[in-house]
Structure 1
């Protein structure tokens, strides 16, 4: 029998049996670490905290002292998300190479150069006593769980990692990464500077709008090598760690109490970030002495970032403010340790950093590696981020960034807002806030609503920061920041609602420069459209109405572009059927939509034809061109629309004969044929059976097992989904070969809050689940409900 089936025997011995043992071990080990449904913590110093978890694993924390609640926050987050917390602090501190090996060395060098941990240490010293105490209590809670010697998550065993004690600086350093995540204009500046090497000035202006800054254009442009290096770092953070990128944003809106049944205001919020498993958010209820909050905390921090306290509710979106500038430096050709500053050579600040590097996985098969020494250099403008392991690539480029300033008290605001009682105290809680720049939405139980722009936004004496500037000239330095009392603000506007979707929050008459890089207005316009329709119906607005809006997948940008597409005269039956389908389409990008599949695939090919082909093929600089090419081929729908009707014919010629190589109609036809060919290959020959969800799925990736063959299917989750880049329920997707269109960016959580004189209602949904333990039933139990637009209620409850 054995001789007859040698292949089967080898399969059982070397594949099936090891896999079965691995899965069994994972199951047994994972089940050992599951937290109890209820427990009481003894806090050092005599306090106690009662922890009650609901049916989704979300904890409610009850204590007599607020500090004990923050202690419990550290404890429960360690219970649920310890591996995630370990990755967070290593990412922030540039220590991933210690566990993942040399492939992460360049990224660690970049993060060490940014100096987020040093910036966090400065921030901690500037905090008030109560804010510092909350961080200390949180760290003690994490370390209390570690001291009890529970089974560690499976990832620690796989990579032979032993978590050290958590510190207050670990928490603050992660808050700096959150600021980096929402500071997307560095990506814009690199893209614009690189584009100037390849595109006409008018074409650069098309993609990077705003007033033409001739003063910056006169400054020397960084070399392509410098730009390619900087772009690679930014791209890798976005692709591998879901940090930053052009798509980062959010939706938030508030509705006045005059439109609700109970007279209290409504708030809706869904932050749009890179998606991962587990989510960066951690829903929680906090009951202390003065503390009465519920909402979304960030893993690694003890406070609720967006939520409500029974009196007020708050949410936020990225302000898209320009808070990062690149400064080109000149170094003394006779002394590399001196740089030019206003006509004088001054010494550069230098620090030596040592990065430990683990052998390649699995470690027992490879030799240990020596630690790598790097040199981190700073000028008066900031860290020199073009250095790779201490060696400059091309021209040295430094980074000015608000989040790197000394004494940043942003966490103070995050802490204080939980105790705010009204609009005045809410506003004052953000007076010393620095980064990331946010649009904060406010609602209270008396029916009042408000909007407040927060964060320090630089005032420039010269230039607008959209291109790298001469670092040696103080005329381009930041002079000050927009005064807090001059920041954008609204309170109880006549419309009875306020909407923020990363669109421009100020009019042309606003006296200060904030940004050139606003999101297209499509999401904000759609939210306003649906709110106006609901108000016009005459019935009191409820959370149910907000649910419908928050999960809407209609693209107004697609509706606007459709006439340009469907004006094409079909040349065969396939084209005719596709065009007929689009003519009757509302722009609703549901997963079951055939039109959404045709539209999204067609516009991808069309963007390639319109913009990608504008680059001259230069194989010697292919890698350096790729950053610009990705920028062009990832064009937004509104940019495609403008290109097809542009009277200056920057990309194609609207009135040209179709035989003209750059005729708009010719590019429409070629791109449609390519799109139909792709869809036939992916979905078969029957166009009416095509569905957007069949080729578009949302990916919740796990670090690092999504990158390890054989384990990705266990730890990550993929689900068919609808949506598009300009929908309220947004999906920022990219093409990934046979995987199709991968949505790696979108809503990371959802909150809907209704306040009133006699109580509040809180509906929420996290994008994945509460636990980071693969064997916990709450590891990914919210993925499918999140895609279906379901919500759960989170009760404040009693429990003391």
Structure 2
């Protein structure tokens, strides 16, 4: 057994320490309370912090959320660094090792593949270039933040003072000591954010892998176009000038199957920090004052990310006691531990939210590589090479050679080299985040913005990851802006891996200009909704953003709910929160009637009766929801497991809603036939009947034969799992850091998007990672909730105190009652 077997995030212990750990369990249990309390932050009284120019006051409410007040911006960000470190330094330290490709320094040889993948892409190398490009003011804020983190480190030199995780790590790696924090550590984190929100990279690989078993036209059947006729895009009027992309279909090149498989394995090796793949999305919408009870806008946001313990978000407020050009911040919202400023939130004039725009910002180029050269336009060019040394706890350093073409690093070589075969032998990744940019500048400009023009100016700097930005201000204006560096391809639409040797698919030098990206302000309908749906109909827009949108089930449900609420009366903050909690399954109205037409006998017929009057709501106590989702899971398996390689099989979600909807109208389509049954040709009704029977059998085994006693919440559960030790395989260690499981409503592509992976089961793998409703009539009435809590310290009262409220859809006031006061003095 390897010392640590990496899954997305966790760390496993080696057999050589199991005996020691088990022997220490009793001792650990006895001293854990003493140890963890040593790392709890001081939240009252006074502390001397070198580097401050004046006093800083930090108020915390019952949830432990800090509101920081200072006279100078440098003091404000120094204090933010200190507070982040107080609550979340282990998380920060772990993240910077992820982004630098240095996990093996902490956890040993088992994380080598993770480090190789990151080093091959060179996240930190790009961040070094970005740091030099940032404006002087931003670099000053980053420096101040780093000083605050390091002053906390100096004041807490022992592992037991920093976090329980360090005490546990010491059992495996006694020599580890965290380094001082640097501005580069903060900037590099933005690469992780960009990676996890990178759009359709996996779709490109899945298409190519599926094409190894299916003809191209059948693969394209699995990627239907966006249903503009029934699901509205974000921007619905106007045109934007710009060159139209070349839509000519390319013949599938030499497959390079092995290289693509290796590339997929390399991408799987990259530790997920926000979560990636199916389930990652977000909702945001804004309603103008003409439709609200207060006469001023309301704005809602809930990003959908992988669940983690602690939550990826950290709530905070940053307040200049007197605003001026030198100290221009009065902002409250959600930050990332390790990064100064606020990512999503509100200041005293505006509020803003993010959802993933998901443009196609990466391409996989199949390359022909021979020795140290690669083919390009008929000539063999020299590969660019560099060496990366990876230090390994408990072992010898490992050196890798990273090879790069003009298109990017050869990502398949993370696993092992491919022998030349005369076709594609390598895969290069071209990705916008591997070009240095100024996203860090954008964060502070967003925080300072006081009107639409300043907001747009800040958005123009937000290059990766490209996000849908929604906006509202106290003057009554609402708006939407699509920012980001989005490439212009010489040829093709970015949906398939392309041959690099022809040069025909190269990116043009300049991306889509910012002034050609979609935007709208004060639309006549009085609201704007984004939920990873299509931004704009390509019939009205020239440049290519992507063809791989979410298919609009969440966005259309939000639009429909807003229409209903506006017809009934004025929208309130409570209305916005209620829509965030909507659990309706948008595909039920299509699939349930089809199921009802199939002749069915036996106990599964009784289960199907549950669906007769079901409205599609997926509440935790719902028996129909439990059965419907089980049928959906078994239907996907019955339809596609025989036709697709494992990596390309459906995990669920609204793309598969559209695929299956089309197949329901074609009862003899080849996908209905199970190619594993020789001499038998299955049709639609055969597969639907078997899915209902298999679903009944599974739930009867798990939940009992009384179909009316089934509960969706007995299947659809969330375990808050620590990103490092949460899946150690050692029960007592997991008990220290994990919390749950607990039932949660909703489902993938419900508005309340607690997603699950149909390939694996019903357990939740993506969540609304936070929720926010900003009230521009009185910003002190704005509300928020986090998935877990403010603290990263196990057993601290604020470690997961928001989780129960989150599961119930309840929220806390952003302006919480002050219960603690800490003064930092120079």
- The two structures have a TM-score, normalised by structure 1, of 0.90
Q: CA deviation at 1:369?
A: 1.7
Match of 2:545 among 508, 511, 514: 514
1:730 matches 2:753? yes
What does 1:275-294 correspond to in 2, within 5 Å?
A: 275-288=307-320, 289-294=327-332
**Range 517-526 or range 641-650, more displaced:** 641-650
Q: Which residue of 1 aligns with 2:82?
A: 75
Q: Which runs of no fewer than 5 residues in structure 1 stay unpaired?
A: 1-12, 359-367, 616-624
Q: CA deviation at 1:72?
A: 1.1
Match of 2:629 among 579, 583, 600: 600
Contact conserved, 1:698 with 1:719, CA < 8 A, in 2? yes
Deviation digits for residues 697-742 of structure 1 (CA, Å, limit 9, x no counterpart): 01221122222121223311221112111210112213697xx521
What does 1:216-615 correspond to in 2, within 5 Å?
A: 217-218=250-251, 220-237=253-270, 243-288=275-320, 289-331=327-369, 333=370, 336-358=371-393, 368-388=394-414, 391-392=417-418, 395-406=425-436, 408-479=437-508, 480-507=510-537, 508-538=539-569, 540-572=570-602, 574-615=603-644
| C-alpha spacing 1:77/1:158, structure 2 compared with 1 (3 Å) | same
Q: Which residue of 2 aligns with 1:754?
A: 775
**Range 708-717 or range 113-122, more displaced:** 708-717
Q: Which residue of 2 aligns with 1:745?
A: 766
Q: CA deviation at 1:178?
A: 0.2
Q: Which residue of 1 aligns with 2:212?
A: 197
Provide the rounded CA distance (Å) in 2 between the counterparts of 1:653 and 1:100.
Answer: 47
Q: CA deviation at 1:789?
A: 0.9
SS in 2 for 1:776: coil
Q: Which residue of 1 aligns with 2:69?
A: 62
Provide the rounded CA distance (Å) in 2 between the counterparts of 1:769 and 1:393.
Answer: 50
SS in 1 for 2:343: strand
Deviation digits for residues 555-586 of structure 1 (CA, Å, limit 9, x no counterpart): 122223221122222222x2322222102100
Q: CA deviation at 1:595?
A: 0.5
Provide the rounded CA distance (Å) in 2 between the counterparts of 1:20 and 1:369.
Answer: 30
SS in 1 for 2:304: strand
Deviation digits for residues 15-67 of structure 1 (CA, Å, limit 9, x no counterpart): 99843421232211111121233355545152221111110010010000112
Provide the rounded CA distance (Å) in 1 between the counterparts of 2:167 and 2:780.
Answer: 44
Provide the rounded CA distance (Å) in 2 between the counterparts of 1:531 and 1:651.
Answer: 38
SS in 1 for 2:587: helix
SS in 1 for 2:610: helix
Provide the rounded CA distance (Å) in 1 between the counterparts of 2:719 and 2:589.
Answer: 27
Aligned pair count? 756
Q: Which residue of 1 aligns with 2:656?
A: 636
Contact conserved, 2:113 with 2:415, CA < 8 A, in 1? yes
Contact conserved, 1:43 with 1:71, CA < 8 A, in 2? no
Deviation digits for residues 421-464 of structure 1 (CA, Å, limit 9, x no counterpart): 11111011122321101100001112211000010111111111
Contact conserved, 2:364 with 2:498, CA < 8 A, in 1? yes
| C-alpha spacing 1:635/1:398, structure 2 compared with 1 (3 Å) | same
Provide the rounded CA distance (Å) in 1 between the counterparts of 2:574 and 2:269.
Answer: 39
SS in 1 for 2:621: coil
Contact conserved, 1:179 with 1:435, CA < 8 A, in 2? yes
**Range 14-23 or range 448-457, more displaced:** 14-23
Kindly indicate whether structure 1 or structure 2 has the higher relative contact order, using CA contacts under 8 Å at least 6 residues apart.
2
Q: Which residue of 1 aligns with 2:233?
A: none
Provide the rounded CA distance (Å) in 1 between the counterparts of 2:131 and 2:302.
Answer: 29
Q: Which residue of 2 aligns with 1:6?
A: none
Q: CA deviation at 1:631?
A: 5.9
1:157 matches 2:167? yes
SS in 1 for 2:351: strand
Provide the rounded CA distance (Å) in 2 between the counterparts of 1:788 and 1:287.
Answer: 31
| C-alpha spacing 1:195/1:679, structure 2 compared with 1 (3 Å) | same
Provide the rounded CA distance (Å) in 2 between the counterparts of 1:72 and 1:82.
Answer: 14
Q: Which residue of 2 aligns with 1:669?
A: 689
Q: Which residue of 1 aligns with 2:223?
A: 208
Provide the rounded CA distance (Å) in 1 between the counterparts of 2:660 and 2:415.
Answer: 40
Provide the rounded CA distance (Å) in 1 between the counterparts of 2:642 and 2:367.
Answer: 34
Contact conserved, 1:250 with 1:747, CA < 8 A, in 2? yes
1:120 matches 2:149? no
Provide the rounded CA distance (Å) in 2 between the counterparts of 1:534 and 1:243.
Answer: 33
SS in 2 for 1:638: helix
SS in 1 for 2:450: coil
| C-alpha spacing 1:736/1:569, structure 2 compared with 1 (3 Å) | closer
Contact conserved, 1:40 with 1:50, CA < 8 A, in 2? no
Q: CA deviation at 1:661?
A: 2.9
Provide the rounded CA distance (Å) in 2 between the counterparts of 1:114 and 1:126.
Answer: 20
Q: CA deviation at 1:542?
A: 1.6
Q: Which runs of no fewer than 5 residues in structure 2 stay unpaired?
A: 1-18, 171-175, 227-244, 321-326
Match of 2:183 among 157, 168, 187: 168
Provide the rounded CA distance (Å) in 1 between the counterparts of 2:165 and 2:260.
Answer: 35
Contact conserved, 1:611 with 1:632, CA < 8 A, in 2? no
Contact conserved, 2:59 with 2:66, CA < 8 A, in 1? yes
Q: CA deviation at 1:634?
A: 10
Provide the rounded CA distance (Å) in 2 between the counterparts of 1:416 and 1:382.
Answer: 31
- The two structures have a TM-score, normalised by structure 2, of 0.88
| C-alpha spacing 1:719/1:759, structure 2 compared with 1 (3 Å) | closer
Deviation digits for residues 520-576 of structure 1 (CA, Å, limit 9, x no counterpart): 2110111111111111112x322111110011111122223221122222222x232
Q: Which residue of 1 aligns with 2:201?
A: 186
1:721 matches 2:721? no
Q: CA deviation at 1:185?
A: 1.1
Provide the rounded CA distance (Å) in 2 between the counterparts of 1:697 and 1:99.
Answer: 31
1:772 matches 2:792? yes
| C-alpha spacing 1:40/1:378, structure 2 compared with 1 (3 Å) | farther
SS in 2 for 1:707: coil
Deviation digits for residues 68-102 of structure 1 (CA, Å, limit 9, x no counterpart): 11111111111111111111111111111122222
SS in 1 for 2:757: strand
Q: Which residue of 2 aligns with 1:3?
A: none
Provide the rounded CA distance (Å) in 2 between the counterparts of 1:316 and 1:512.
Answer: 22
RMSD between superposed Cα atoms in Å: 2.5
| C-alpha spacing 1:563/1:495, structure 2 compared with 1 (3 Å) | same
| C-alpha spacing 1:169/1:526, structure 2 compared with 1 (3 Å) | same
Provide the rounded CA distance (Å) in 2 between the counterparts of 1:15 and 1:298.
Answer: 33
